[in-house]
Structure 1
Amino acid sequence: MNQPEGQGTISRGKSSKAKGKGKSKGPRKGRKKAVLIWIFFVVLFAIVCAVVGYLLVILNGERILSANVNKLNLDKASVIVDQNDKEIAKLYVSEGNREFVSFDKIPKKLQDAFVATEDKRFFEHNGIDLLGIGRALVKDVIARSAKEGASTITQQLSKNLFLNADKTIFRKGTEASIALALERKWSKQQILELYLNRIYFGKGQYGVKTAAKYYFNVSDLDKLELWQIATLAGIPKSPGTYNPISNPERSMDRRAVVLKLMYDQGLISLEEKEAAAKVVYDIKKASGQTGKYLTYVDYVLDEAIEKTGLSEEELRSAGYRITTTINTKAQTAMENEFANAERFETSKDERLVQGSMVIMDQYDGSLIAMVGGRDYQIQGLNRVTQQRQPGSSFKPIVDYGAAIDTGDYYPWSTVQDVKKCYGNYCPSNSNGNYLGTIPMKQAIKESRNASAVWLLNEIGISKGLSFAEKLGIKLEKEDRNLSTALGGLYRGVTPVQMVRAYGAFANGGTLQDPHSILKIEDSRGKKVYEYDESSATRVMSENTAYYVTQLLQGVVQKGGTGVRANFGGRPIAGKTGTTQAGIPNFKTTGNRDVWFVGYTPEWTAAVWYGYDKTDKDHYLKKSSGQAAAMFSAVMSKAMEGVKHKSFPIPSGLKDDEKLAGINGLIAAYSPEQVSVELTWSPVANEGMTYKIYRKVNGEADFRKIAETADPSYDDYAILPDQVITYYVTAYQASKKMESAPSEKVTITVTTGLEATPPPGEEGGEVDPPEESESPPESPPIEIVVPGGSPTPSPTPSPTPTNNPSETPIGDTPASPPAG
């Protein structure tokens, strides 16, 4: 039976579609099977590669371990030489720096501290910590370099025994292979025992027992206290940074981290953690070192670590040759003087008055010599890198140098030495004496605090801080106050920073990079580091440097606070500095720090004296003269045979300018006006004004009462029975210059009659005195108004005649800010 055409068509279409489906099923199943087969073989290949790779890693580790099982990676000492290639020290680590202790003699808490800090899954993994490696790789990718360690204790032992410290993927792989081999060969206890006996603890000390003896004088590890255990466990991460001698504060910070890890892992109680964290180091317990030039050698080692990125262990033991800038004659002279107890005050107990000194060649930044303390061989604390309050030795940096650098001030410019408060801050001269308007060179020579603060206030704190930063001393935000003018800093400065800053004044305005290393070569003679001489930068004009030098030369001349620094007829410039003891609930005139920083045309040096910790039983009785005397003693011997030079003199210097003083000052009482009329002879200079100063009986100091362009002034602010003394100065605002004070005249104000001068005088006019550095105050002229008996004028306060090096006028500022 015939079907309709449409239905047939539909039937054929379905049949065709069905046939099509049937035809495509076969090829698709074939493709899927091919993909599965391909994946199978890829996975199989990967498994084979992984197995082969794992076997190669295992075999490589076994091979290295078998070949080097007895290897000690400390067999070639590095040496330090001077510029003439003469050996001055060898950094070989002898067996005396390593003492083995068996596992059963290592206290459980000591083991726990190292495991908790270095590898808390030590007893769970098989030598490598995959979680730790993954975390390290992520951090390396983020940092775009191989910085993160994340090694297990076993891996660290592998590296210490057989590898260098190059942080590369290949080294990490080799390190892991050795770690796996170690884990198969030895038990966890054996690995931990070897690790604790081989790990480096800084200062040339290997192994936990040697470190305990060196840092704490503890031979029996069972007698270690928790704070000592945590300190030791914190050192291996960075031995040069976290050992308690080189950096006590950073070591205590690291100790706190270890204690927290131990607490978090349930190894100690909260009470134990808090008690151990409160202990302050007493570093005098450290055992002694031997050898020559110990401070200098340690400084070289620290600088080499910084410049090369190598570890201290590698630098000591891998056969490097380090060429330095040391001058052994100067170093020996310095060490001899610091060994002389007569150079220091006597302490009431075993805690010594400490000191440090560093000498630098200001023309290239070479560190010539340094001593870090009187007993450096015992303590190992390098005080040339420790921050202390600089006191008045900071004035050339933040006050006078900054002012001269503005171009508005010169050594002959005048400053105000007056008792004045700036808000709540009221600086004072230590002897309570104020001279009013004085030349800048007198203010710094006598180290007058009031003048320094006045000057910084005039130029602005920002200019002072900016100039200090140009000299390599970046101050804190807390230093944006006027106490900085007197060296009252938030954190302080180091002798190395001070010698660098003063060196820029000494060499004509260039800031050098202080350095002790010229070059470092490996055991094959390949150069791995060389000092870059282009690091010096000009930070001030030659004129500024020369004018500051002029000011500082006055400090060491007769009448200056640093007169004891002189030696050998050489040109010398410098500045003293002292800071108050500042002991809570204890009043004393003693000091916490004393300084002298100075220079000749050849070398610059900084000297610091003080106790490491100041308290009511440990503070300095004497002032900065002792530091100046140490400068003289060391430099005179160190510079024997060194050719004399002169300070560089730039061209285009301005001459020493002075304004003519005021003559002919006359004071007369006017009954009609009820005033004191002052007249004087005018000064023939353009833009001249006159400043009038007066002091009434009962007042301690003169104060400015007026400024006028006319050579006369009427003082109406008077009362009966007052004794008033006046003087006048000339002032030229365009040059910020003020003349020396005129002769003083005194008048006694009573009622009724006209004032007449005393016999033998004409209205108080006298001849001016001869100019001098610090003119003495002559008795003022007395003018008495009839109607009362003559009243003698108050006797002016004399300038102190004490030894200026021992009782400076302004070297002791107000207590610095907390911190």
Structure 2
Amino acid sequence: MTLRWWHYTSLVVLAGGLIVTALIALVVTLIYPQLPSLDILTDYRPKIPLRIYTSDGALIGEFGEERRAVVKIKDVPPIMRQAILAAEDDRFYQHGGVDYVGVARAALANLTAGGAREGASTITMQVARNFFLSSEKTLTRKISEAMLAMKIEHSLSKDQILELYINQIYLGQRAYGFASASQLYFGKPLAQINIAEAAMLAGLPKAPSRYNPVVNPKRAKLRQQYVLRRMHELHYIKDSEFQAALQQPLHVHHDSQVAEVNADYVAELVRQSLFERYQDQIYSSGIKVYTTLRRADQEAANFALRQGVLDYDRRHGYRGAEGFIDLQHSGSLPDDALESALDDVDQVDGLIPAVVLEASPKKISAYSKNGETVEISGEGLQFAQKFLAPNSVAKTHLRRGSLIRIMSRDKGGWKISQLPQAEAAFVSADPHDGAIRAMVGGFDFNHSKFNHVTQAWRQPGSSFKPFIYSAALEKGFTPATIINDAPLSLPGANAGEAWEPKNYDGKTEGPMRLRTALTKSKNLVSVRILQSITPEYAQDYITRFGFSADRHPAYLTMALGAGSVTPMQMVAGYSIFANGGYRVQPYFIDRIVDGRGALLAQAKPVRAGVSAERTIDARNAFIMTTLMQDVVRHGTAIKAMQLGRHDLAGKTGTTNDQVDAWFCGFNANLVAVSWIGYDRPRSLGAGETGGQAALPIWMSYMGKALKNVPESQYAIPDGVSVININPENGLRVSDGGIPEYFYQEFPPATQNQWTDDVIGLPGAKSPDEIKDQLF
């Protein structure tokens, strides 16, 4: 009886086996011919985004649907490969595409757990699914996946398959591939990651959204710990390495930026320029653009502008809480609820949003957006001290639930700050060819994408005076020409009204040399100069510097910078003084290469003294440079002498009611412009002149950009004479006096006469006549 039972059982098993074999054969016969070609794998061409770099190779931005950086398997660090195998497929190098041992193990684990807890997909099967199949959970798809995996294993080596997986897998935040994810989450190349970071990345493929360290840091940490345990069990890491990795803090980037240096405004300009040329293919064809920016210059500009705006903001006091978040009547909210409350509040350039949990005049406890509960006391509270007073009843009073901004202190710890309302712009360039070296279009690109360098049309104020003075030199004025700094009343725009321009300080000083007038930025002198050369002549003359005549109406207010300019125009205009009189066009794209490294385009800028058009006389440029050197050495920009250099020249600019503050300056090899103001024009406040608000930004940048750079020399061009003059009256003297520069055709006959009629005192020919008319 037992024998018969065994006989029947054997027949059933054999029949079942034959049926299963027949079904498999049938499936293979039907499905295998339908499997796709592997050409897409053997000729792998992933979608690679547009990437933009500084001239020295630092990444400043990328644009594309997929963030991807392709890396060769030989360049993947061993610890990263081991972490991937531990997390996804530790028998990868043993199986043939389908891991039957893994399938059995997963089936047993799922049976024991009472549900589907563990999968059995190999890395090869994931490659098959990611390249060729959908993610639908059907038997047909699973069979196709297994068969395709075996086909891949027969066509490619194990290292080739792993390389495809490493580059193709989705890892959250639009990042595809581990090289891209390393840069995105940790701000470093894949070759530089440590064990803890490798385990965090290797944990992402299972569920990129669930284990994303930006979105779900706690779940990501649990997944990382699992991967580390698997690495330890597989003897990829030692006991000491395992324990160290478990304890090592991870510094995850929360802004989802992959850039090595912040230059978002330039990156966006490049994107727009490339889109006009190549349309949508720029987002997937792997084009690389190398700009003219220099990493060190851009970083110096970023710091200078940020610090300048924050310093200005602090001078004008704390405005109170940014908002209020209801934290219920008592108790404290769980971290998840606090994080949810801060979800819609963006971090702006290091100013981290935080919710006050407890507040007193001596200490604040706050939960920050980066998930940390911080305590602020002492110096960290000084900025907001009056908003912590017990008797304060203002809506912006700091209390539990107040939304504030915090930032790290140089000495460690935290301090209260606030989101600035003022905006700023900074741009620098090589005056010899117009190559942009640094550009910051605003305080924070994510907060405002309006590029104030190229898009903000603002009044330049006194920073426009050098162009008027340059026109005057062409009309026969000299640095020693005497002009009267005296009250002036002219017909106004409306009948019966008078226009009475004033100097910034409201004072007048009588007759003075043109050089002195620019050094002290005398408005009344500038108006008289323009009155003499005529606004129409000046309006035409300034077009030599790249300014539009229609934005500078031919009125006397042009002398005070009442027209409209952009910082980019100003850097181009001042470059002409710096390079000896040549017109160069600012540019920021040096070269473009395709995904295979072939050159698509190369900039061919004109160069001063070689191919650029001469737009003003070399003598004019030189004399104007000496005038602006005096502005730095003795005038409104004297603070710049703190840099300890004698080759700097420039001009401050302040408009009526301190609405716009400028400083435009240069040496022979670098020109830079800084501006600060409000998007909706209003006063920056009393005393916020170009020298107070804009010059410190310029100084901070130039101090770093010119560090260890020898001082440049300005050679006196042919046709310039050095003549001794009496500084009191501008007269030429044989002995004594001070040296002054003149065009060589400066008439010798004027040696003991006034160099010109005193502007504003027609017919005055001698000091006595001048005194009679003035006093």
* TM-score, length-scaled by structure 1: 0.46
Larger radius of gyration: 1
* TM-score, length-scaled by structure 2: 0.49
